[in-house]
Chains A and B, each alone.
Chain A
Amino acid sequence: MRKYWAFFLGNIQNTLAFRGPLFVWLASGMLALLGSVYVWFSASGGQTFGGFTKNELITYYILVLTIGWIVNWMPFYWLKDEIADGSIVTTTLIKPVSLYLRVFFAEAGWRAVAIWWGMLGTIIFVFVFRDNFVFVSSTGLNIIYLVFSLILSIMVVFSMSMVMTLLAFWFTHVDVFDSFNWVARMLLGGQAIPISFFSGPLRSLVNLLPFRYTISFPLEIYFNKVTSLQIFFGFVVELFWIGIFIALYKIMLARGLKTYTAFGS
């Protein structure tokens, strides 16, 4: 396990060396959040929208920013380049390390630094919109559910990203798959709008797909929009999808390495 700790520390150093991208992420997240918040200030047509009051919706979008910084563990962007340019051979394949764990600990190193930037953005927005931010009273049990759901959300996003990344063993350009993933996560994951805006069969489908369990599910727990039974069902679905993605990862890695040829390393 000590070797993975080295990847963790190495990526912390790397993140601190290149701080510019963190600032860009923070600025872009805050810009997007500004738009989302002010839309609901200007909306007219009722007291509630999709089961949320205006203040709850403003709180929702602020927390989307926060939770995004916590759960969006997506090594896709740099790992696909390692596979494409062959450097994955020297960084991982010829070493006695698990690719999954190596990438996990590297991402953890990045997050260990980045999450403080996300918290900074959250604190700024909570302060600016303090008259509108809704602090939901939670029981100790609900807080435990929330923390557990965040951990599972990290695993869902990370595992999904790893599966997508391994497509680089077969396709030269894989960014388009990430594009499809983002479409699904924006719409079905609650990032663009709360999934309570959906109804009927579409809502049932959303409850079964993994995207809801990236951003929306922790927020539903925070706002007490789900019962204990629904929370347990959510955890079961999350564990199911984590299992599916890990199984897919193992199969794709085994098959991908059989056909993989690296240039330059």
Chain B
Amino acid sequence: MGEMEFRFNFVLWSISNTFWALLLIFTVQLIYGQVDTIAGWGRNDAYVLAIVNSLFISFLWSFVLPSMVGFHNLTRKGQMDFILLKPLSTRFLASARTIEFDMYPRILVLCILLINFVSQHYSAGFLEWFWFTLSIGAGVVIFYNFALTAATTNFWFINIFNLENLFDAVYDLGRLPLGIFKGGLQLVFIYFIPMAFLGTYSSQILLGMGSWAMLFSYLIAIVTTSWVSQWFWNFALKRYSSASS
């Protein structure tokens, strides 16, 4: 209802968000005009990766990031006090209070693009689409846990208003194939910064290059990140001192 009070803003954001997604895909076109492959990923693979990553970003900006980027106001302005007083999960109230709808047109456009492109250039069956859809949901959960852990640092570092920049950097990495990193650096971008779960793994699953190890790694990542984010949240709350009441 809040979005509908500013309809012109909603329309402009819908256009801007869709334009961003198409821009990212156009960038692939420009880069592959100069290169043949990047870490073994050809042009068509890179298109799929770009569209899948854009889909992730769309879901994140619909359900996760609007609450996270405004988190610093909760601690700085003392609004956290009112959340703590409510008989509900404080984690849920603090991190899932805002949902935005201006990404929905972009999600629709990306889904149409993806389905069309994959059906023209690849042969993905029902199982690939099924596991792909699950991997998208799992990736959103993993990133939610990562983002909450980062946002929780606002309990100590007051007024970190630019966490959005950090989130931008992380999910933009998902547009790149994980294979560009080797060795220890690749492990960092699987286990500490969830780059692999924001594009590469889901794309590989959709293109029939997935494996049970990949699916298992999603499960491990969800359990681990959930536990870490919850532990850190409780740790931070114990040290919270109100700014107002």
Give the B-binding residues of A (Cβ under 8 A). Answer: 18-21, 23-25, 27-29, 31-32, 34-35, 38-39, 41-46, 49-50, 171-173, 176, 179-180, 183, 186-187, 192-193, 197-198
Contacts and interface: CB of A to CB of B under 8 A. Distances in A.
Given A45-B37, A187-B23, A21 B180 contact: no
A35 B180 contact: yes
B30 interface: yes
A187 B165 CA distance: 18
Given A21-B159, A27-B166, A193 B30 contact: yes
B33 A44 contact: no
A172 to B, nearest CB: 6
B169 interface: yes
B9 A43 contact: no
Contacts, number: 106
Interface stretch (B112-120, B171-179, B215-223, B224-232): B171-179
Contact of A45 (B36, B157, B165): B36
Nearest to B167: A28
Residue from B36, B163, B180 whose CB has the most chain A CB atoms within 10 Å: B180
Given A21-B160, A41-B180, A35 B172 contact: yes
B27 A183 contact: no
A5 B193 CA distance: 42
B172 A49 contact: no
A180 B16 CA distance: 6
A172 B9 contact: yes
Contacts of A180: 16, 19
Interface of B: 6, 8-9, 12-13, 16-17, 19-20, 23, 26-27, 30-31, 33-39, 153, 157-163, 165-166, 168-170, 172-173, 176-177, 179-181, 185, 193
- What 7 pairs between A and B have smallest CB-CB spacing? A45-B36, A20-B157, A28-B169, A42-B39, A31-B169, A49-B34, A45-B35
A172 B5 CA distance: 11
B28 to A, nearest CB: 10
Given A25-B162, A50-B34, A193-B30, A42 B16 contact: no
Which secondary structure dominates where chain B touches chain A? helix
Which secondary structure dominates where chain A touches chain B? helix
A172 B35 contact: no
Given A21-B161, A31-B173, A41-B180, 10 more contacts: A20-B159, A28-B162, A29-B169, A31-B166, A31-B193, A34-B173, A38-B176, A180-B16, A187-B27, A197-B30
Contacts of A197: 30-31, 33-34
Contacts of A20: 153, 157-160
Contacts of B158: 18, 20
B179 A42 contact: yes
B161 A172 contact: no
B20 to A, nearest CB: 6
18 contacts: A24-B160, A24-B163, A28-B166, A31-B166, A31-B170, A38-B181, A42-B39, A42-B180, A44-B36, A44-B37, A45-B35, A46-B34, A171-B9, A176-B12, A179-B16, A183-B19, A183-B23, A193-B31
A21 to B, nearest CB: 5
